[in-house]
Chain A
């Protein structure tokens, strides 16, 4: 074990490897921060650069982008309420609130430090638990994946707010969007209307650029208040040790759920951050601060999404199952370099695996340093005049969308989903619910059908298998409990009104 780490360090500390990791992390922070460029798009754009590299260096560079993007994503989440990466979506709630209250520097500092903690701890979890936990993942069949997808969808009821009907409609729109294209099972076209571009499906990255970034830009254009420069100077405020200690519960929760999400292929960081956010709120001593600028509300999701950068590699490296878009890109890079994931990878090419492990640690340290240095420029970007910033972001979004497949189709997807996203925002629907539907649709359907194929059509297969049963029970509880709470609150309010009325009448 130890000599394998020495080998890994040798690979990771090679000057070329260090330089490429640094470039990767820097690009990740910038790409993650730029709205519309998520971690996976930043990685995908860099992929062609890695063709000529040593496979270990290529993977380290891409993993560096992944790591950097998680912090970069929180920069825009905090400063312009647009998660640069889906994993930072939960950071928006309190991060942006802190920014509005003039605590941008503090929010960024907490995100950076807890993110680094998450990333580093994540690497140790990755190394320490890869083998034993992968044995549990071995027991995961289609029913369990189906249950996991359902659980992800059930989360929607906890974040859509008061109007559950509109939240569910939003999720259904995402699920419906995910059914466009080739059927995951039978290979027959669905809802393509004879259009070749539609056949390949609505690419999730393009949909996310549209729904999150473009809808936000359109929102700012149509309803944005003042177009003044943001006045005042912001400075980086790294949290003190005492403050970090006070965030220990939220950070720990982030580590736990980041680890779970990384292990179980699913939504790629977004779900973990939301669960971590909700759980941190539940366990917090000051839950009333959540939504009003809680540092814990930044720490929990930011720890979680950085943990995922490491733990998502567990199913990827051991089974070749990509748990997210980013992991899928890493898998693509591995295949391009003829590296086959699986148990043999650890034994035959330890320099790649352990080089990647050490490289991830290096990348997290680089993120801390670069993130600290990049804070001021990132704030300066927000201070660019809004018309210029918005047209610049639009230009970047158009180019980013085009570059996904070198064609105009994704540009159209981005424009249409952007308009839809803006309308949804305006009329009380939930963009995030739609994105979850879009991301999880394939997983839910494919595994539902695969499960029933295995069970010869017996639907009890989901309840007789323990892991699947537990996940489904959790899904039900997660879905119902916010509704029950809301009903109880409304009844109490109605009761109070009923008591008050006779006196008034």
Chain B
């Protein structure tokens, strides 16, 4: 956890820095109040910087929680995240109905279910149910893709 705290502290310091730097560029606009639109963000940014500094100092002085992290299937996690990101990129072009079953099937397989029927049938079924409920019943306008008016 110590190394993670150090990394997080440094990242948060950087975030606070960027945030504060960006807050300098906020225009006052028509604000007639004394604090203006930049005050609250700057207060937050400064506080975050102080707390992030505390995280770094704690990690360096070895005063943070030394408990080791629980094991995680990092590869699997990134595989699923990759699938989701790919879906979000592709779906607007391919359309909801064509993009969703492969995503669901791929996630199911990645998570360890291998029987073809148990992978394919629910992927199609869930997609159709989601489409029926959200697309048809609730009128959500999904990207259609090459299937057109379907």
Contacts and interface: CB of A to CB of B under 8 A. Distances in A.
A221 B73 contact: yes
Nearest to B103: A395
Contacts of A386: 111
Contact of B88 (A168, A385, A408): A408
Interface string A413-457: 001000100100011100000000000000011001110110001
A341 B49 CA distance: 44
A45 interface: yes
B111 A403 contact: no
Interface string B69-92: 111111011001100110110011
Interface string B15-53: 000010011001111111111110111001101100110
B140 A392 contact: no
Interface stretch (A92-100, A123-131, A172-180): A172-180
Nearest to A424: B8
A408 B37 contact: no
Interface in A215-263: 218, 221-223, 227
A388 B119 CA distance: 8
A183 B31 contact: yes
Given A190-B41, A427-B5, A221 B111 contact: yes
Nearest to A429: B8
Contact of A221 (B22, B71, B77): B77
A299 interface: no
Nearest to B80: A221
Nearest to B142: A402
B134 A399 contact: yes
B30 A186 contact: yes
Contact of A385 (B44, B76, B100, B118): B118
Contact of B72 (A165, A176, A223, A394): A223
A411 interface: yes
Given A179-B40, A402-B142, A427-B5, A165 B111 contact: no
A186 B37 contact: yes
A444 B104 CA distance: 41
Contacts of A175: 44
A187 B27 CA distance: 10
B71 A223 contact: yes
A396 interface: yes
Contacts of A406: 140-141
A168 B47 CA distance: 9
A448 B40 contact: yes
A387 interface: yes
B100 A218 contact: no
Contacts of A387: 107-109, 111-113
B51 to A, nearest CB: 5
Contacts of A218: 77, 80-81
B104 A391 contact: yes
A448 B35 contact: yes
B54 interface: yes
A395 B69 CA distance: 29
A49 interface: yes
A186 B8 CA distance: 33
B122 interface: yes
A188 B109 CA distance: 47
Contact of B104 (A166, A183, A187, A394): A394
B77 to A, nearest CB: 4
B61 interface: no
B85 A179 contact: no
Contacts of A179: 40-41, 44
Contact of B4 (A408, A427, A448): A427
A456 B85 CA distance: 49
A48 B135 CA distance: 12
B140 A185 contact: no
Nearest to B8: A427
A172 B44 contact: yes
B1 interface: yes
B126 A183 contact: no
A10 B65 CA distance: 62
Contact of B30 (A49, A162, A187, A399): A187
B33 A185 contact: yes
Contacts of A222: 72-74, 76-77
Contact of A190 (B37, B107, B122): B37
B130 interface: yes
Given A165-B58, A398-B87, A185 B103 contact: no
Contact of B130 (A186, A191, A395, A444): A395
A113 B142 CA distance: 39
A203 to B, nearest CB: 16
Contact of A428 (B22, B65, B122, B127): B65
A395 B127 CA distance: 8
A169 B48 contact: yes
Given A49-B138, A388-B122, A428-B65, 10 more contacts: A190-B23, A218-B77, A387-B108, A388-B108, A391-B123, A402-B142, A403-B134, A415-B88, A426-B70, A453-B33
7 contacts: A45-B140, A186-B28, A191-B41, A387-B107, A392-B126, A403-B134, A457-B34
Interface of A: 45-46, 48-49, 162-163, 165-166, 168-169, 172-173, 175-176, 179, 183, 185-188, 190-191, 218, 221-223, 227, 385-388, 390-392, 394-396, 398-399, 402-403, 406, 408, 411-412, 415, 419, 422, 426-428, 444-445, 448-450, 452-453, 457
Ranked 9 nearest A-B pairs via Cβ: A186-B31, A188-B29, A387-B111, A186-B29, A183-B37, A391-B107, A387-B113, A222-B77, A222-B72
